[in-house]
Amino acid sequence: MGSDWEATEERLAARSDERQGWLARRDRRRSVLPWLLAPLVFPALGAAALLVVVEREGGDLAGWSTGQAAGLLGAAFVVPAVASCWFARRQGVVEAIAWAFVCVGVQLAFVVGVGFLALGLGP
């Protein structure tokens, strides 16, 4: 009977160690994800979407109403910022908001610097 208890305790200890390793890997993944998505992926996707729409309209949004143009700009910048904030939510409120601001800043640099100046898209 003693060996059954020892075997059970060893299995439980092995499972506990395995779970601790899994949780540590998950925590590392969750801490690295905002560093990849917020300053690179989300701003690039938002900038690309905005530049595609502006380029499709001939370089300006003169044919759009003010509300439509503001809605496009708002969605193009707010959606990636909210996604960045959501992925960084486990690091705390302040860091999540900081990642949202980083995302907006990088996206603005992509739109103006890469899209308008380097590639000659837009106005």
- What is the per-residue pLDDT across 31-48, written as a single tens digit (0 to 9) for each? 777 788 888 999 999 999
- Nearest CA to 93 out of 85, 83, 105, 84 is that of 85
- What would the pLDDT profile of 11-26 be if each residue is shown by its tens digit? 888 888 888 888 878 7
Taking each helix axis from N to C end, the angle separating 66-87 and 93-109, rounded to the nearest 10 degrees, works out to 130
Instruction: Name the band, by pLDDT with cuts 50, 70 and 90, for residue 123.
Output: low
- What would the pLDDT profile of 60-112 be if each residue is shown by its tens digit? 888 899 999 999 999 999 999 999 999 888 888 999 999 999 999 999 999 99
- Whether 118 has a pLDDT exceeding 70, the answer reads yes
